[in-house]
Structure 1
Amino acid sequence: MPLHRLYVPPNLYTPEEKSAIAKAITGVYSGLPTFYVVVVFVDVPKQNYFVGGEQTDRFLRIVVHHVARQFASDERKRNFMDRYEAALEPWTKRKGIDWEIQVAALDHVSWNENGIRPPLGDTEAEKLWKELNRPVPYEPEKGGFKTKL
């Protein structure tokens, strides 16, 4: 589950732009079930938004938590960052604002969906979750866990 929190000034994006941004972010994760991708816009009024000690209404801060997958190398991390930046370019660089993106990798073991431990990546159970676009109960031993849990 990648969780994307976008800290934005209240009028930086229209509702239509927010929807387009959420779709663009979801598109970066072609290998995951789409319901894993959560995008939350957090409005931060100018009087509460400071960068370098100065109030701003032209700054976007994005914090991403990755749980479903971890990157095997720094090269793969940078590749993801490049794809992410490209997906957001219409609402960052082309909009003429300043922005910052931070991605944190979290522990897969401490994550559940609807009370169900998600299957490991590229397993039959995960393929079913992707096909149905929702979590469904499965037997871990038959769903692709590589070790007993």
Structure 2
Amino acid sequence: MPLHRFFVPKDLYTPADKSALAEAITEVYAILPKFYVVVLFIELDSTNFYLAGKSSDRMVRINVEHLARNFDHSDSARKRQFMARYEAALAPFTEARGIDWEVQIVDCDRELWNINGMAPPEGNSEEEQIWRKENRAVPPEEIKAMKAAGKY
């Protein structure tokens, strides 16, 4: 899953803003099952949010963990292309509002990731496509039954 943690000053975003931002982030990952994308908003009051040693109410810190897919560490162009897509999704909620922001993305070990106790299917596999279409983690025995019933 890509896990997105938004550390934000309390009340910076409305519930509608949060929903729209989560949708925009999810669209960045169009090749993944949508349920893989998790966006958390961690609100902090101004006495718990500091920038350059000063309390801040106009700064957003975004920490992203990639699990489902990892970048080829030697492919700088692809990484920068992803960052451009990600920044475009953020822009209406940051730059357009005069809010400062910082993004950090970390690739994590896919072998140390389970969903509902299962190792997710390999990327771009038939099983992952079923998970994508069903928008949920589908146990192998259920996939087998779906195939036998002609659903897939």
Structure 2 length-normalised TM? 0.90
Please state if 1:11 is matched with 2:18: no
Match of 1:33 in 2: 33
Matched, 1:103 2:105: yes
- Secondary structure at 2:140's aligned position in 1? coil
SS at match of 2:90: helix
1:81 to 80, 83, 87: 83
- 3-state DSSP of counterpart to 1:113: coil
Give the CA deviation at 1:75. Answer: 1.2
Deviations 1:8-53 (A, max 9, x none): 0111111100000000000000000000000000001100101111
CA distance in 2, matches of 1:126, 1:48: 40
Letter in 1 for 2:27: G
Question: 1:31 corresponds to which letter in structure 2?
Answer: I
From 85, 94, 106, the equivalent of 1:92 is 94
Correspondence for 1:42? 42
1:103 Cα deviation from its structure 2 partner: 0.3
- Larger CA deviation: 92-101 vs 69-78: 69-78
Worse-matched range after superposition: 120-129 or 68-77: 68-77
Cα separation, 2, equivalents of 1:106 and 1:46: 31
Structure 2 partner of 1:112: 114
- 3-state SS in 2 of match to 1:60: strand
**2 CA distance for matches of 1:44 and 1:66?**
24
Report the counterpart of residue 62 of structure 1 in structure 2.
62
* Percent of aligned pairs sharing the same letter: 54
2:147 corresponds in structure 1 to none
Moved over 4 A (4+): none
For the aligned residue pairs, the C-alpha RMSD in angstroms reads: 1.1
Structure 1, gaps ≥5 residues long: 143-149
Deviation at 1:74, TM superposition (A): 1.5
